[in-house]
Structure 1
Amino acid sequence: MPHIFSVRELTLAVKATLEGEFPLVWVRGQVSNLARPGSGHIYFTLKDNEATLAAVWFKSQQWQPAAVRDVLADGQEVICLGRLTVYAPRGAYQLVVEMVQDQGLGTLFVAFEALKKRLASEGYFDPARKRPLPSHPRRIAVITALGGAALRDFLRLADERGFGASIRVHPVLVQGDQAPGQIIQALQEANIQGWAEVIVVIRGGGSLEDLWAFNNEDLARAVFISEIPVLTGIGHEVDTTIADLTADVRAATPSHAAQLLWPERRELAQTVDELENRLQTAARELLRRKEALLAGQERALSWLSPRVRVLRALERLEGLERDLFRSGQAMLRERRSALAQATSDLTRTMDARFWAARQAVLDQRLHELLAAGREAVRVRDHELAKLETAMSGLNPERPLEKGFCLVQSERTGNYVRDARDVRQGDLLRIVPRSGFIAARVQETRAERGE
């Protein structure tokens, strides 16, 4: 009966055979999937056009200068010296590296840089031609692979952010030779439909060769001529493809693409609260200014109103009457005093008949003087009556009691004095003795009878 191996036994046998046949080998290849965990070990893959080989460079074997270790990067062409072995937990063979020699950039990286330089010279990456994303887009076309983590993360964030949006998914391959053609066709379909506000192209992370479909020149041209803004979120933050450089906006990851399209809802709520506070503040300030303006206009009207003007005129007239009365009384006292003195002097020098004659003349003069005083008061009373009549005529509401009306233009705010003050279609405010009447101008005539 043949020997039956356990998995462990077979793996150890293969390991022993492999290590015995290839104790120390030199291998040339291009670095990809480079990882530097906190342990200090360096993990990467060596590859050429037809095969790949896992490699590990343990920290204890990194005796070369730090400059060699630190410059090791994806796309770099290297020659590694090491031992072949089998990593039992995965049942996979790998190269345990002991020395690395730099051989320059890999073919994919060189091709990437050449295409990047050529498209840059044609203006594909010019920031001036790139369009901003619309604010809070409601219709999104997503080009990606169905069932991938990139689509799940994007849809989850789209459901949690913004005001909500409609999303059309254009399923495509995102890796391999057929991927560029499918992505180009999806871009063309989205532009022909014209439904979307933004086209989003997303894919999860991967090596340079995994993302190579997005370094296709025809795909770059399709992104360049798209009439709808294109947002890309391809790979991780460190990954940059030609499609990223050509797109209107590049996101670091698929999740970041959703974050660029829509803000968090709590940010929207905060924005609404801030706008409400600003609106309330502005309303209070506007009300304060209007109240101050109204108070000033009330004070001005109180000084300019006909009633106040009449009251001030009456006060001035009363003051003049008091001054006139005091002046008349003073003059009478002076005249009486002078008369008494003159009478006394004349009595001593003249006889009774002389004084009787003089007394008669004096009585006549006194009578004339009193008559003149009464006439002066009558004249003043007449002037006061005329002033009251004039002030009453200045009252704008007086004509309203006789059936007249005030007409005010709603457009200018002025009272209408001439047909040329208004236009056809103007709103008028007609004010009779009480209430008001709203009217609209249908026709104007410059002169009566026209």
Structure 2
Amino acid sequence: MQEAILTVRELTEQLRKSLEGRFPFVWVRGEVTNFSRPGSGHVYFSLKDQDAQLQCVWFRHMQRQTDQSFDPLTGEVFDKPRPSPLELLRNGLDVLCAGRISVYAPRGQYQLAVELVQPAGEGLLAQAFEESKRKLAGLGYFSQERKRALPRDPQRIALITSPTGAAIHDFLELARMRGSGSRIRLFPTLVQGAEAAPSITRALAEANAQNWAQAIVLVRGGGSLEDLWAFNEESVAQAVFESRLPVLAGIGHEVDVTLADMTADMRAATPSHAAQLLWPLRAELHQRVDETWSALRRAMERRLEMAGQGLRECEKALAWFSPQRHHERLYERLASLEAALDRAGRHWLDGKLQKADSLERALRSALGSEKLDIFNTRLEQLTARLQAALPRLVADKERALQHGILRWQSTARTYVAEQLWRFDALSMALEARDPLMPLTRGYALVSTSAGLVRSVDQTSPGAKIEVRLADGSLAAIVSSVQCAKNRKREKS
């Protein structure tokens, strides 16, 4: 539970990383309020509309808009330099601000770190971009549901770009160093100028027509909005939208977003980033192979261990239930009985000897030495007879045990033979009741579409019947029906 508790700094840091990662560069429009320019040279103000307000900071080192001979948003070149937005910025001015979202930790608030500022309503290309963006969004070009996943570590890529630009070199350089090896087919095209959009459209159509690649990569280096305008043409966005192959777009830098980027299945910040999205590092692939091999080896060892354990259990079960083991258990039982019989005999003999000694002492005290000698001689004879009879008794028990074993084996063989005879009898009875067995003796089964024909009343002249024989069937038509009482129905 303690690990889930964050400090204020930790939570603020996580929020900062999340916001900066989600909004690395955005354009925001609003009315300037709370404008302040202290002696540090930084500019602080807020952007507001009817429903919300956003804190902004324009650091001094980012205030580079001294040359106003062109529009930084659209790339439009002006006839006369225009005043710097820094000079025009004031409360109540409607402006467009570009920058990144960050979190100011001491106050715990998010803010826009401004990089570009210009009065709202300027730039024909920006207006055209927004109009096309709204139109294509309404047609579902930017819908996440229609976008497809790129193949992981693809082997065939169709690359659409200029063969002389820096983008192709950056892309190919990373492609050589990543992945498990891939073939790249270049579809050269213009990426700037009036003929660039038709050229890009034709290249996309050709790549789809060949149907060779697993994915299409559309890349270009950075530039102004005017330089990248070919990728904002609706014809290019439509070609990307209609592509049967997934399209990865890496156009310009991270701050450059075109209609082709938004329509593509996935957008890369740069051409190099596109290669990074397609192919993993080879070290990662090697590590994955090693992990897979280790997992396979562990699985194989576990499988072999389980199989060996099962085999050992089967061996124990087989050894326990085998006839040899059964005989061994009988011999062990016989040895146990022999030992018990020997102990009983010795115990009985010891008792008799003790009793004989007691009687001998009593006789010696009651009789003379002559009679004692006679009794001793008789006792020795009886002892000799007893010792001679004991082995015969053990032998009789062994013969009885062996006879029991033979009777058990004979009974088992008789039981198995009876079961085999019963199985044969049941098999013969089953074969006798097989409805198809009479077909082998020349009989036939007659059926119609309604089922098996059991009576002549179930059919009529002209009816189609099927005659099934042992080796096949015949299709026939009834020409006449003859009843058992010689009633005959002719075909009309």
TM class by smaller structure: 0.5 to 0.7
2:199 matches 1:173? no
2:216 matches 1:199? yes
Task: Flag structure 2 segments of 5+ consecutive residues without an equivalent.
Answer: 1-57, 100-116, 367-378, 411-426, 428-492
The verdict on how the C-alpha distance between 1:178 and 1:372 changes in structure 2, with shifts beyond 3 A counting, is: same
1:204-215 correspondence runs (5 A): 204-215=221-232
Q: Which residue of 2 aligns with 1:324?
A: 341
2:41 matches 1:41? no
CA distance in 1, matches of 2:121, 2:76: 20
Query: Out of 266, 273, 290, which is 1:256 matched to?
Result: 273
CA distance in 2, matches of 1:262, 1:101: 40
Query: Match of 2:190, SS?
Result: coil
The verdict on how the C-alpha distance between 1:264 and 1:318 changes in structure 2, with shifts beyond 3 A counting, is: closer
TM-score with structure 1 length normalisation? 0.59
Q: Following TM superposition, by how much is the alpha carbon of 1:260 offset from its aligned partner in structure 2, in angstroms?
A: 1.3
Deviations 1:392-449 (A, max 9, x none): 99xxxxxxxxxxxxxxxxxxxxxxxxx9xxxxxxxxxxxxxxxxxxxxxxxxxxxxxx
The verdict on how the C-alpha distance between 1:317 and 1:108 changes in structure 2, with shifts beyond 3 A counting, is: same
Deviations 1:314-361 (A, max 9, x none): 23212222333443455566678889999999xx9xxxxxxxxxxxxx
Query: Match of 1:38, SS?
Result: helix
Q: Which residue of 1 aligns with 2:178?
A: 161
2:96·2:118 contact (CA, 8 Å) conserved in 1?
Answer: no
Task: Give the letter for the 1:219 counterpart.
Answer: V
The verdict on how the C-alpha distance between 1:69 and 1:126 changes in structure 2, with shifts beyond 3 A counting, is: closer
Sequence identity of aligned pairs in percent? 44
CA distance in 1, matches of 2:177, 2:322: 65
Query: Out of 292, 296, 302, which is 1:275 matched to?
Result: 292
The verdict on how the C-alpha distance between 1:309 and 1:176 changes in structure 2, with shifts beyond 3 A counting, is: same
CA distance in 2, matches of 1:259, 1:252: 10
CA distance in 2, matches of 1:55, 1:156: 41
Aligned residues: 328
The verdict on how the C-alpha distance between 1:331 and 1:144 changes in structure 2, with shifts beyond 3 A counting, is: closer
The verdict on how the C-alpha distance between 1:141 and 1:381 changes in structure 2, with shifts beyond 3 A counting, is: same
Deviations 1:285-342 (A, max 9, x none): 3344344444444444454444444333223212222333443455566678889999
Q: Following TM superposition, by how much is the alpha carbon of 1:53 offset from its aligned partner in structure 2, in angstroms?
A: 5.3
1:139·1:165 contact (CA, 8 Å) conserved in 2?
Answer: yes
Q: Following TM superposition, by how much is the alpha carbon of 1:146 offset from its aligned partner in structure 2, in angstroms?
A: 2.4
Which stretch shows the higher mean deviation, 46-55 or 207-216? 46-55
Query: Out of 209, 227, 242, which is 2:244 matched to?
Result: 227
CA RMSD of aligned residues (A): 4.6
Q: Following TM superposition, by how much is the alpha carbon of 1:264 offset from its aligned partner in structure 2, in angstroms?
A: 2.1
2:209 matches 1:186? no
Query: Match of 1:140, SS?
Result: strand
CA distance in 1, matches of 2:402, 2:293: 61
CA distance in 2, matches of 1:67, 1:260: 44
The verdict on how the C-alpha distance between 1:335 and 1:271 changes in structure 2, with shifts beyond 3 A counting, is: closer
1:142·1:201 contact (CA, 8 Å) conserved in 2?
Answer: yes
Query: Match of 2:218, SS?
Result: strand
1:237·1:252 contact (CA, 8 Å) conserved in 2?
Answer: yes
Deviations 1:18-64 (A, max 9, x none): xxxxxxxxxxxxxxxxx9993632255535998435859789x7584
Task: Give the letter for the 2:63 counterpart.
Answer: G
2:247·2:265 contact (CA, 8 Å) conserved in 1?
Answer: yes
Q: Which residue of 2 aligns with 1:52?
A: 78
1:46·1:54 contact (CA, 8 Å) conserved in 2?
Answer: no
1:310·1:391 contact (CA, 8 Å) conserved in 2?
Answer: no
1:310·1:388 contact (CA, 8 Å) conserved in 2?
Answer: no
Query: Match of 2:185, SS?
Result: strand
CA distance in 2, matches of 1:37, 1:150: 32
Q: Which residue of 2 aligns with 1:358?
A: none
CA distance in 2, matches of 1:369, 1:334: 13
1:146·1:171 contact (CA, 8 Å) conserved in 2?
Answer: yes
Query: Match of 2:253, SS?
Result: coil
The verdict on how the C-alpha distance between 1:56 and 1:390 changes in structure 2, with shifts beyond 3 A counting, is: farther
Q: Which residue of 2 aligns with 1:18?
A: none
CA distance in 1, matches of 2:97, 2:191: 27
The verdict on how the C-alpha distance between 1:57 and 1:106 changes in structure 2, with shifts beyond 3 A counting, is: closer
1:41·1:57 contact (CA, 8 Å) conserved in 2?
Answer: no
1:198·1:229 contact (CA, 8 Å) conserved in 2?
Answer: yes
2:398 matches 1:384? no
The verdict on how the C-alpha distance between 1:314 and 1:55 changes in structure 2, with shifts beyond 3 A counting, is: farther
